Amino acid sequence: MNNHMDYLKQRVLAGLMSRREFIGRAGALGVSAAFANTMLSHAVHAAGPKKGGTIRMGFQGGSTTDSLDPALATNQVALMVIRMWGESLTELGDDGSIQGKVAESFSSSPDARIWTFRVRQGLTFSNGQPVTAEDVVATIDRHAGEDTKSGALGIIRGIKSAKADGRDVIIELESPNADLPYLISDYHLAIQPNGGKDAPDAAIGTGPYILKEVEMGVRFVAEKNPNYWGDLGHAQTLELLVINDNTARVAALQSGQVDMIDRVPPRTAGLVARAPNINVHKTSGPGHYVFIMHCDTAPFDNNDVRLALKYGINRQEMVDKILFGYGSVGNDTPINASYPMYTELPQREYDPEKAAFHMKKSGYDGPIVLRTSDNSFPGAPDAAALFQQSCAGAGINLEVKREPNDGYWSEVWNKQPFCTSYWGGRPVQDQMFSTAYLSSADWNDTRFKNEQFDQLLIAARAELDQGKRKQMYADMGTILHNEGGLICPMFNDFIDASSDRLAGWVDGVNGFALMNSYAPLRMWVA
């Protein structure tokens, strides 16, 4: 049997047999589908990646109002475009460890207050210009500037100073932070010539590809960077199509228009998985689908209104009917068991009586407008309708307003006081809290400002005792749970799919979608 299995594997590697056919033939020999998949994956990786060809992607999230400035990236499409051309100082490894990227090494003082990052020797930007420590310092400076709108602002506000010393970048923090290498892996902090101060949207970086065609919100084409230093980017050309409609995106994969898609709708994931020559990839992690309220805008500036809505949502129903089991129940914090220092809080349940009590206590009896779009997360309008129904059971008048997909991230998210949204999560608590819940964070999309929370966040960064630090994060989670503007009914599994035309997918990459958004850069045309 082993000889025959080897024969079948070779036929797949030669392009003479599909993955699906291989699994079927293996099953006939008494080999389970899971084991056959593992065998084939190992064989594919052992054979090594093939070079050349074109990988075509169909992703959700992009709009005509997007920008190539990494500071302003707000969605999966923008992130993927950054991955093509740009790199940060560090990156997250498959096992969740932090590794050097533009920085070849890094170290800290014993108290984690002063960090030194050494810029990789001989590194050049895609325009041929050498990468210097001064470019790194300028990048940090731009994202921390007075007028910045950077999504990384909450992360780097704790930096007291950054200076260049030869190839070294020396960062001094306001207070110690053992997680700094994780924080600066943030995709917004792609290193640019002179920090991007001269041309923030030029898309010049150290990544494996060079952008050649850009139709914002429609299409991006990138060609292999001949001077790239690393081992990413096997295809000669990457083509990314923005396909926001769920049905159209799945159809594009099934018809062969694209080779890879993100955000397979949970409702149809099973059907997609059964289609010939298509592989569905499920990854559990910190991603979460949310309803966000601005805590500084009436009626959401009243915590009883916020509590009424939190008790007025049926979380399990949403997991069942929106995620179809591809996820887990949330608890009104952005943190789940995928984080390293997680503490479980008592689960808030749907309770129409408590919802009605808090709404009456608030003194507000008018309608509440919730804005939504399919572009916020798959099934968001349906989730909003379920929320409307469960609120009605508590006597709460929730009005759902459907917004256009295009422009949702520029005109609705972080502007309108109550809307659907999503977060992909972050590797560590500090990064998630600093990005979205620190009072001064530019991406504080709930307008949550709590002095005790801020103090705990700063103190936790400096706390090297892991037990004490864990308790601080638990306390912060409790504050958000009870007082925040976040309604988090569910943590979503990431569901992506690729055709048999591609090889090189790796399961379980640190809990994020599309192999931490590196799939097109790590996979190859089979």
Question: Is 72 a member of any domain?
Answer: no
Question: Is 435 a member of any domain?
Answer: yes
Let me know whether 176 and 244 are in one domain.
no
Let me know whether 319 and 446 are in one domain.
yes
Q: Give the pair of three-digit tokens for residue 168.
A: 């070294």
Question: Is 176 a member of any domain?
Answer: yes
Where does a domain end: 196, 221, 240?
196
Let me know whether 350 and 385 are in one domain.
yes
pLDDT, position 104: 97
**C-alpha R_g of the chain:** 23
Neighbours of 507 (CB within 10 A): 12
Question: Is 77 a member of any domain?
Answer: no
pTM (predicted TM-score): 0.81
Question: Is 163 a member of any domain?
Answer: yes
Q: What is the CATH number of the domain that holds 92?
A: 3.90.76.10
Label residues 279-313 b or e (16+ Cβ within 10 Å = b).
Answer: bbbbbbbbbbbbbbbbbeeebbebbbbbbbbbbbb
CB 515, CB 33: distance < 8 Å:
no
Cα 111 to Cα 462: distance, rounded to the nearest angstrom: 8
Question: Is 216 a member of any domain?
Answer: yes
Could you give phi then psi for residue 85, rounded to 5 degrees? Answer: -105, -20
Question: Is 103 a member of any domain?
Answer: yes
Q: How many helices (H) and strands (E) does the chain have?
A: 19, 21
pLDDT, position 14: 47
CB 70, CB 40: distance < 8 Å:
no
Let me know whether 322 and 272 are in one domain.
no
pLDDT, position 224: 98
Let me know whether 173 and 132 are in one domain.
yes
Where does a domain end: 196, 228, 259?
196
Neighbours of 9 (CB within 10 A): 21
In the DSSP assignment, the letter for residue 236 is S
Give, for all 526 residues of the chain, the pLDDT tens digit: 556 665 565 556 545 566 667 777 766 666 676 566 666 655 655 567 999 999 999 999 999 999 999 999 999 999 999 999 999 999 999 988 999 999 999 999 999 999 999 999 999 999 999 999 999 999 999 999 878 889 999 888 889 999 999 999 999 999 999 999 999 999 999 999 999 999 999 999 999 999 999 999 999 999 999 999 999 999 999 999 999 999 999 999 999 999 999 999 999 999 999 998 999 999 999 999 999 999 999 999 999 999 999 999 999 999 999 999 899 999 999 999 999 899 999 999 999 999 999 999 999 999 999 999 999 998 999 999 999 999 999 999 999 999 999 999 999 999 999 999 999 999 999 999 999 999 999 899 999 999 999 999 999 998 988 899 999 999 999 999 999 999 999 999 999 999 999 999 998 788 889 999 999 999 999 9
Q: What is the CATH number of the domain that holds 506?
A: 3.40.190.10
CB 376, CB 33: distance < 8 Å:
no
Instruction: Name beta bridge partners: 215.
Output: 219
Question: Is 211 a member of any domain?
Answer: yes
Instruction: Name beta bridge partners: 56.
Output: 239
Q: What is the CATH number of the domain that holds 349?
A: 3.10.105.10
Let me know whether 254 and 293 are in one domain.
no
Let me know whether 329 and 216 are in one domain.
no
Domain with 120 in it: 87-196
